[in-house]
Amino acid sequence: MANQTFPICPLCRAQLQPLGQIPVRTGGTSGGWHLLFGEWADVGEGVMPLDVYRCPQCSRLEFYDHDFSLPES
């Protein structure tokens, strides 16, 4: 991992710093559906791990799917 290169900030062109992976919830429902169906409302829910990077100059956050876990559109 010593030769690992990180993405470049699209605004200020600085090298982004890795912050690790965070789980992002996808699918499921919100609002009144939980009152009607309870936990069954979240049957279609999934969690996708996204890699997060921060720019040391402008503090911009960038999210990447390096392991290609997101579905194709």
Tokens found for residue 25: 């919830």
Which band of pLDDT confidence, cut at 50, 70 and 90, is reported for residue 10? very high
CA dist 8 and 62 (Å) reads 10
pTM over 0.85: no
Residue 3 has pLDDT above 60, yes or no: no
Which band of pLDDT confidence, cut at 50, 70 and 90, is reported for residue 1? very low
Per residue in 22-47, pLDDT tens? 988 776 666 666 556 666 555 667 77
Q: Tokens 């090298």, residue?
A: 15
- Which is more confidently placed, 52 or 47? 52
